[in-house]
Amino acid sequence: MAPTKPPVEHKIDRTPEYEKFIEDLRAFHAQRGTQFDPEPKMGNMNVDLLKTFNFIVENGGYDKVSEEKLMWRKMCEGLGLMRHNAPADAYTLKQIFYRQLAAYEIKTVHKKEPPPPEILEFTTAKGGSLLTRTVDNFHARVKADKEESGDDGTPSRERRVDEAPTSSVRASRGLREAPAPRVIYQPDTNSSRQTRHASGQQPAAPGSHGVNSPAHPPANTPHSHTNTPVTQNNMSSHHQSRDRAGGGFRDSFAWPNPSVAPDLINSTVNQFQLGPPQQLPLRIVDTPINNPDQFARKQRLLRQGQRQVPTGPSTGAIIRANLPHGHLDGPNIYERCLFALRSGIRAEQAFGLNHLVKISYERGDKYKFSQFSGLAEGLTEFALQVGNLFYEIDWTICNNPDVDEFEVDELDGINGTSDILERIRRLKRKPIHDNFQSAEFTDQLTLITEAVLTIRNMVMLSDNAWYMSEYMPLKDLLVILLQLPELDVAVELKHSALDIAEQITPFLVLGAKDSLYQTLLARLSSNDRGTILTSLRAIGRIAMATVETNKLGEVPPAVLQRMMDWLLLNDDELMDACLDFLYQYTANVDNLDRLLESTHVDHLVTQLVRLLSHGAKRGFRELPAANDGGSHTENEEIKVSPEIPAVPSDLLERLVGMDEPQRCYQWVKCIFEEDADHSLTQIAVWQAYTRTFADILRAKNKPMINAGEFIKNISTVYQAAGAQIVREGDAQRFIIRGIRARQYPISPEGQGYFRCKWTAAAGDTSCSAWHLSAVQAWQHILVDHLGEQPLENGTFKEHDGQFACGWRPCTKYPTPVPLRLTQLMAHIKTHLTVEEAAHSGTANAPSTAEAHTPSRSRRSKSSSRPLEPTKAILLAYEETASVRDERNPNAPAQPAGIPLSAVLILRNIARNVGKTRAEEALTQQREEAGQTEEAAPGYRERLFRPALPRLWEVFTENRLLAKDLAQLFQLLGA
3-class DSSP string for 647-700:
CCHHHHHHHHCCCCCHHHHHHHHHHEEEEEEEEEEHHHHHHHHHHHHHHHHHHC
120-134, 244-258, 294-308, 418-432: which has the minimum mean pLDDT?
244-258
| Range with lowest mean pLDDT among 298-312, 453-467, 543-557, 911-925 | 298-312
Contact 105, 62 (CB under 8 A): yes
In the prediction, which pLDDT does 228 show? 39
Give DSSP secondary structure letters for 179-245.
PPPP-------SSSSPPTTSSS-----TTSTTS--TTS--SS-GGG--PPPPPHHHHHHHHHHHHHH
Note the pLDDT of residue 749.
81
> Looking at residue 198, what is its pLDDT?
41
Q: Return mean pLDDT, the chain.
A: 76
In sequence order, the 6+-apart residues with CB closer than 8 A to the CB of 572 are 615, 898
Instruction: Report whether pLDDT(364) > 90.
Output: no
Nearest residue to 889 via CA among 92, 45, 51: 45
For 454, half-sphere exposure in the C-beta direction (CA atoms, 13 angstrom radius) is: 30
Q: How far is CA 687 from CA 148, 241, 247, 647, 824, in A?
A: 70, 92, 89, 13, 41
Q: What's the rounded mean pLDDT across residues 369-386?
A: 92
Q: Verify cis geometry, omega within 30 degrees of 0, for the bond prior to 661.
A: yes
pLDDT in tens, 402-448: 777 888 889 998 888 989 999 999 999 998 888 888 999 999 999 99
Q: Would you say residue 351 has pLDDT above 90?
A: yes
Closest CA to 449 of 385, 493, 390: 493
Q: 220: pLDDT confidence band, cut at 50, 70 and 90?
A: very low
The pLDDT value recorded for residue 296 is 77
More confident residue, 957 or 825: 957
Confidence of residue 170 (pLDDT cuts 50, 70, 90): very low
Mean pLDDT of 565-594: 93
DSSP state of 782: I
| H or E element that contains 411 | strand 410-412
Give the CA count within 13 Å in the CB-facing half-sphere of 307. 0
Residues above pLDDT 70, as percent of the chain: 75
In degrees to the nearest 10, what's the CA dihedral of 872, 874, 875, 878?
130
Across the chain, how many H-helices and E-strands are there? 41, 16
Q: Is the preceding omega at residue 313 within 30 degrees of 0, hence cis?
A: no
Q: What is the pLDDT of residue 282?
A: 66
- The rounded distance, in Å, linking the Cα atoms of 247 and 161 is 13
CA 636, distance to chain mean position in Å, is 45
- Do residues 174 and 197 touch, judged by C-beta distance below 8 A? no
Stretch 783-808: mean pLDDT? 81
Burial class, 247, CB count within 10 angstroms (exposed 0-12 / middle 13-18 / buried 19+): middle
Query: Distance between CA atoms of 302 and 735, rounded to whole angstroms?
Result: 93
When pLDDT is averaged across residues 205-219 and rounded to a whole number, the result is 40
Delimiting residues of CATH 1.10.150.60 domain(s) in the chain? 16-149
pLDDT tens-place string over residues 120-165: 888 887 767 788 887 777 765 655 555 444 443 333 334 443 444 4
Query: Residue 772: helix, strand or coil by DSSP?
Result: coil
Query: In angstroms, rounded to a whole number, what is the distance separating the alpha carbons of residues 609 and 954?
Result: 9
Using CA atoms, how far apart are residues 974 and 970, in angstroms rounded to an integer? 6
Residue 317's pLDDT band (cuts 50, 70, 90): very low
- Supply the CATH classification number for the domain 16-149: 1.10.150.60
Q: Which helix (H) or strand (E) holds 733?
A: strand 731-741
In the predicted model, is pLDDT for residue 584 greater than 90?
yes
Of the candidate ranges 60-74, 382-396, 520-534, 701-715, the one whose mean pLDDT is the lowest? 701-715
Low-confidence winner among 132-141, 385-394, 403-412, 665-674 (lowest mean pLDDT): 132-141
Q: What is the pLDDT of residue 961?
A: 93
Instruction: Work out the percent of the chain whose per-residue pLDDT is above 90.
Output: 29
pLDDT confidence of 386, banded at 50, 70, 90?
very high
d(CA 400, CA 403): 6
pLDDT band at 396 (very low <50, low <70, confident <90, very high): very high
pLDDT, greater one: 645 or 76: 76
**What pLDDT is attached to residue 606?**
93
Q: What is the pLDDT of residue 144?
A: 56
**506 has pLDDT over 90:** yes
User: Over 60: is that where the pLDDT of 560 sits?
Assistant: yes
